[in-house]
Structure 1
Amino acid sequence: MPEETRSQINEWITSATAGQIKDLLPMGYLHHGTPAMLANALYFKGVWERNFDAYLTRDETLFLHDGCVVRMPFMSSTSKQCITYRPGYKVVRLRYGHQGRGEHRVFSMYIYLPDAHDGLPTLLHKLSADLALLESSRTLTDEVPMRAFKVPRFTVAYKTNTREMLLNLGLLLPFDGDIVEVGAPEPLVVFDVYHESFVEVNEEGTEAASAIAVAMRFGCAHLEAPVGFVADHPFMFLIKEELSGVVVFAGQAIDPSIPQ
């Protein structure tokens, strides 16, 4: 009963992501030639340590990478911020309040803003080539006064089958080699990798969800006076758990004005 199994997987993912990700696996996708599926989901909801005042939110101009401009709501704050300048870009760290009742965890969002309006691709290439450039709570600790601090209120969502992307990156073995051992009578190989993510950032905090489903088939195979931080053009953001250093969400805000 492939359709019943597909529904059960989708229902579990919807529940695990607080209803933010629905129908990850499309109708008719599973069939009797799909002997196994691996699914994982992640959900995060964090409230800012210091909320943005909604009364200060105003429509501002956002410059897109292609030279176009749009108007959208920008949140602003007069509070001190953890910010640093690097060659070609600047980074701000926004802390979330304490998470959970049990194990202590500390989360922050890092926004990487290139100096040039069209500088995001260059920045992404630079950071991916040297992960030591990623900031942390050890490199962004001191708060400094801000002349201007504005970030857009945005929602981004993305859904894709990452099979071709992973193959283009050189990840061949899971798709071509017999590496999956789950007690099946024949070798299993990865066939498809469905991924969907959702991130919403507003004055109160952040809600984010991500899910992945892997289908298998039988086969072989420090600044004293910063001038400000105004995120009015495409930027990258990370949500990181500070104690472990694990990045739980990463994304790009290219045109946050597009309704999701």
Structure 2
Amino acid sequence: MNVRAAETINSWVEKVTENKIKNLIHSQVLDEFTRVILVNALYFKGAWIEKFHLTNTKKTKFYKSRNEVVKVDAMANRPSQNFSICISKELKAKLLQLPIHGDASMLQNLYSSLQLGVHRIFSDDDADLSGIAGEKGDLLVNEILQKTFIDVSEEGVEAAAATDLKIPIPYCGRKHRPQKFIADHPFIFYLKVKDMIIFAGRVTEPYY
């Protein structure tokens, strides 16, 4: 029964994410204590409104830490009215918004005090999943499984995930004079569609 349930879940996730996310859950994760399995998957593919020219992609330094530096392929483009750069004093961060066709955009955050995480649903004392079943304390989460895929290229963005995440972005004023935005150290990024954040992640280990 557990094997069949895992196969059903994995097949659905694979279909929804255009074969980008495979084997999300293993049958051994399901046992006699399992009551509910919540599965959420998304797939997004969009093209930049202003594409990056492949000839501008160059090897550049990425500072994983103060003492660890690697060379990565970095896309580049000249300042444009399509790009929004703003500075948040509250978060001590610099943000870049890159528009995508279809009322979407990608935001990059260098670096902020934002923290990604959920804790209460794992606690016997604090977990309240009565909206699903039972009373407060009857159910709690003991494990979260997540697989993600994102490909950012000169043409656009392709992303898939087996979870959903919504995080508000604080308001910050747009700067009118051209500014440089150089993503040469760890940063947080978001994919936003119609003011809803559908994908969030953190880049600390760039592909090189």
TM-score interval w.r.t. the shorter chain? 0.7 to 0.9
Deviation digits for residues 122-173 of structure 1 (CA, Å, limit 9, x no counterpart): x1x2x45xxxxxxxxxxxxxxxxxxxxxxxxxxxxxxxxxxxx64xx23336
Give the gaps of 5 or more residues in structure 1: 99-105, 114-119, 129-164, 214-221
Which residue of structure 1 aligns with residue 170 of structure 2?
none
Q: Secondary structure at the match of 1:37?
A: coil
Which residue of structure 2 aligns with residue 49 of structure 1?
49
Contact residue 39 and residue 163 of structure 2 kept, 8 A: yes
Deviating beyond 4 angstroms after TM superposition, the runs of 4 or more aligned structure 1 residues are 173-178
CA pair 58-176 structure 1, distance change in 2 beyond 3 A: closer
CA pair 232-257 structure 1, distance change in 2 beyond 3 A: same
Does structure 1 residue 12 correspond to structure 2 residue 9?
A: no
The two structures, once aligned, show a CA RMSD in angstroms of 2.7
CA pair 177-75 structure 1, distance change in 2 beyond 3 A: closer
Normalising by structure 2, we get a TM-score of 0.79
C-alpha deviation, 1:189, in angstroms:
4.7
User: Match for 2:193 among 236, 241, 244?
Assistant: 241
AA in 2 matched with 1:26: H
Does structure 1 residue 111 correspond to structure 2 residue 108?
A: yes
Which residue of structure 2 aligns with residue 147 of structure 1?
none
Which residue of structure 2 aligns with residue 75 of structure 1?
75
Which residue of structure 2 aligns with residue 226 of structure 1?
178
Give the gaps of 5 or more residues in structure 2: 165-173
Percent identity over the alignment? Answer: 29
Question: How many residues end up aligned between the 2 structures?
Answer: 190
Q: Secondary structure at the match of 1:194?
A: coil
AA in 1 matched with 2:93: Y
C-alpha distance in structure 1 between counterparts of 2:124 and 2:32, whole Å: 24
Normalising by structure 1, we get a TM-score of 0.64
AA in 2 matched with 1:69: V
C-alpha deviation, 1:71, in angstroms:
0.5
Contact residue 127 and residue 139 of structure 2 kept, 8 A: no
Contact residue 174 and residue 189 of structure 1 kept, 8 A: no
Q: Secondary structure at the match of 1:247?
A: strand
Higher percent of residues as helix: 1
Alignment of 1:1-260 (within 5 A): 1-80=1-80, 81-87=83-89, 88-98=92-102, 106-113=103-110, 120=111, 123=112, 125=113, 127=114, 166=118, 169-171=119-121, 172=123, 179=130, 180-181=132-133, 189-212=140-163, 222-242=174-194, 245-257=195-207
Contact residue 104 and residue 193 of structure 2 kept, 8 A: yes
C-alpha deviation, 1:174, in angstroms:
9.4
Q: Secondary structure at the match of 2:10?
A: helix
AA in 2 matched with 1:108: S
C-alpha distance in structure 1 between counterparts of 2:13 and 2:32, whole Å: 22
Larger radius of gyration: 1
Higher percent of residues as strand: 1
CA pair 89-36 structure 1, distance change in 2 beyond 3 A: closer
